């Protein structure tokens, strides 16, 4: 609502619409307004100041990262000039926040040697905790990447145009956040990267679009390693990732999964710098078969 007031003239308020954009990689919010009124009813409007007040309860919340940041703006004049003022922004006491997310991993399908199991990963976070900034999952060395199952990779140009080949889809993902009315969901792609192996990209769609990029590599022991770094500082209640198995699965067993208890090394870092490490059990169908019942007939 822009007051159209100039000198002795008060022409009421003019509604100026503004577009709200969310960066899919960082979740940073940018607001771009339509041009402010320059003339109304033949009377020039000389805007000398601009004040934006966001005071709706619950509209914004503090980050869980206490690193210094800034709020910036760019104002354009009607004759081509521009100004870009900024102001410092930083919160305090982030290390006081707890960081205790829970990650569950489950393999389904074939447990035999050379089998291709599917993978289900579920992360649950508590309300009020620091948000996740980084997650590294290192698989045991008896789970490797089967390069022969990489049919095609989505290029960055195809991904930007939302025209990835169907064979580059590896699975599906869903994230639930208290900030939105409905969950965000979307496919998981294998996308070209600037390093040896392609990236694992989660393309979430919904009220906003968010992209989560995981760098695929190998551990020193030869296991498969995926690193999701630079995650947005936004609260997540639940994140579920499902990767295909069988003919479309990239994971392959080098030995039977029923030999011992396979575990994945999980390292998570909160936005407040707190770290959490664990050896998470990879649940599978080993030992879950029901015993057969044998009937005995009387003589």
**Which pLDDT value is given to residue 299?**
44
Angstrom distance (rounded) from CA 129 to CA 68: 20
Largest CA distance in the chain: 113
Q: What's the pTM?
A: 0.86
Confidence of residue 295 (pLDDT cuts 50, 70, 90): low
The number of C-alpha atoms within 13 Å of 8 and in the hemisphere containing its C-beta is 0
For residue 296, pLDDT beyond 60: no
- pLDDT given at position 79: 85
Span 56-73, average pLDDT: 91
pLDDT of residue 128: 93
* pLDDT tens figures, 141-170: 888 888 888 889 999 999 999 999 999 999
Q: What is the mean pLDDT of the chain?
A: 90
pLDDT, residue 275, reads 96
As a residue count, the chain comes to: 299
pLDDT tens digits, one per residue of 165-185: 999 999 999 999 999 999 999
pLDDT tens, 210-255? Answer: 999 999 998 887 789 999 999 999 999 999 999 999 988 889 988 8
**β-bridge mates for residue 123, sequence order:** 103, 239
Sheet strands (E) in 45-94: 69-72, 75-76, 82-83, 86-89
Please tell me the distance from the alpha carbon of residue 207 to that of residue 205, in angstroms, as a whole number: 7
- Residue 297: per-residue pLDDT: 56
Is pLDDT at 263 greater than 70 in this prediction?
Answer: yes
Each residue's pLDDT tens digit, 90-141: 999 999 999 999 999 999 988 888 889 999 999 999 999 999 999 999 999 8
Report pLDDT for 294. 53
**Would you say 88 and 255 are in contact if contact means Cβ atoms under 8 Å apart?**
no
Q: Which residues, 6 or more positions from 277, have their beta carbon under 8 angstroms from its beta carbon?
A: 265, 266, 267, 268
Give the pLDDT band of residue 290 (cuts 50, 70, 90).
low
3-state SS class at 159: helix
Domains (range + CATH), the chain: 2-94 (no CATH), 96-283 (2.60.40)
Q: Are 176 and 183 in contact (CB under 8 A)?
A: yes
């Amino acid at each position: 609502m822009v007051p159209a007031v100039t000198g002795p003239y008060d022409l009421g308020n003019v509604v100026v619409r503004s577009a709200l954009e969310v960066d899919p990689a960082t979740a940073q919010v940018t607001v771009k307004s339509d041009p402010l009124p320059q003339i109304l009813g033949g009377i020039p409007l000389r805007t000398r100041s601009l004040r934006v007040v966001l005071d709706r309860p619950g509209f914004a919340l503090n980050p869980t990262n206490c690193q210094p940041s800034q709020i910036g703006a760019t104002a354009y004049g009607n004759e081509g000039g521009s100004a870009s003022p900024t102001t410092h922004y930083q919160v305090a006491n982030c290390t006081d926040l707890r960081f205790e997310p829970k990650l569950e991993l489950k393999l389904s399908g074939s447990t035999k040697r050379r089998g291709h199991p599917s993978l289900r990963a579920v992360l649950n976070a508590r309300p009020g905790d620091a948000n996740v900034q980084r997650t590294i999952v290192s698989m045991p060395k008896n789970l490797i990447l089967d390069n022969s199952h990489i049919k095609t990779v989505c290029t960055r140009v195809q991904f930007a145009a939302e025209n990835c080949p169907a064979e580059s889809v590896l699975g599906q993902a869903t994230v639930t956040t208290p900030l939105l009315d409905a969950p965000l969901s979307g496919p998981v792609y294998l996308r070209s990267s600037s390093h040896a192996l392609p990236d694992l990209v989660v393309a979430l769609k919904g009220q906003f679009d968010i992209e989560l990029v995981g760098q695929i590599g190998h551990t020193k022991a030869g296991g498969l390693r995926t690193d999701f770094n630079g995650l947005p500082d936004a609260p997540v209640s639940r994140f579920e990732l499902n990767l295909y198995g069988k003919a479309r699965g990239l994971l392959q067993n080098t030995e039977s999964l029923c030999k011992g208890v396979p575990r994945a090394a999980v390292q998570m870092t909160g936005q407040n710098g707190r770290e959490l490490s664990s050896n998470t059990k990879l649940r599978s169908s080993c030992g879950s078969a029901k015993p057969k019942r044998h009937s005995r007939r009387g003589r």
